[in-house]
Amino acid sequence: MRFQNRDAHILMKIYENDGVLARRHVKDIFWLGKTMRAMEVRLSKLQRHEYISWPSLEHKKTMPIPEPICWLGWKGAQFIAGINGVRIDDINGNSENQLRVFHNRLRDNGIRCVREPRWSLLRHDLALVDFWLGIENATNELFSSNLENWITESQFRSNMDLVEYKVKSQDGKVKSLKKGVCPDAYFEIVIEDQNVWDDEKQRIRCLLELDMATHSNPSFGRDKTRPYA
């Protein structure tokens, strides 16, 4: 296979979004206005040469997969490591032991590549990509703003902040609690119009928490809102 610049950008985009994209995301980013077949032909080549991976028949039978997805294969992960200055040797075959050693080496060198998606959280993770694309498109349409410093959950999880905070229970007692703060993402919206915003308001910093579970109001305030505040 002749590796192309677009292939490199596809691998980087998968990596930047915590390791998984829906194929519709890939099409919207790299084949907008083109046919689905044009994209599928190229992705199939990347998959055959182990740059990307997608669900097997066994995955489709046993895992909750809402739509077609792809993630990095071992060659894709090796490429990401290389452009980050990390040399990871090839593997011979796809034995479980070799793949485990390969991914341990990636992790030891700070490269966050998943072997498979988080199946139980797949809908949540794809919804995060939807949100990211929506914010990026919105800021691109505004000439005075840019989206910068998108940081994903995996980066927070690798170096989590532990915060101490106080909450008041229903009986009026104040309790001291500790909690690791691990948002789904962090991003900044940069306003470039100097005539409207002063220097201190040029950068809007946002923590994203996309919660698809059901919480009572007290538990949401205690477990989600209060630690961030």
Annotate 105-138 with DSSP letters as a single string: HHHHTT----SS--GGGHHHHHHHHHHHHHHHHH
Q: Is the four-CA dihedral 192, 194, 199, 204 of positive or negative sign?
A: negative
**pLDDT (0 to 100) of residue 40:** 96
Contact 188, 147 (CB under 8 A): yes
pLDDT for residue 198 = 55
From CA 139, how far away is CA 187, in angstroms rounded?
A: 12
* C-alpha–C-alpha distance, residues 19 and 77, integer Å: 10
SS3 57: helix
Kindly list the averaged pLDDT for each block of 10 residues, start to end, along the chain of length 229. Answer: 94 94 96 92 96 95 95 95 91 81 89 90 94 90 85 86 82 84 90 61 85 72 72
Of 9, 15, 52, 29, whose CA–CA distance to 155 is shortest?
Answer: 15
Q: pLDDT tens-digit profile of 153-197?
A: 988 888 888 888 888 777 888 888 888 888 899 999 988 765 555
Q: According to the model, what pLDDT value does residue 229 have? A: 73
Distance CA 180, CA 165 (A): 11
Q: What angle do CA 207, 15, 132 make, to 5 degrees?
A: 40
Q: What is the DSSP string of 162-227?
A: EEEEEEE-TTS-EEEEEEEE--SEEEEEEE--TTTS-GGGSEEEEEE----S---HHHHIIIIIHH
- pLDDT of the residue at 199: 55
DSSP 160: P
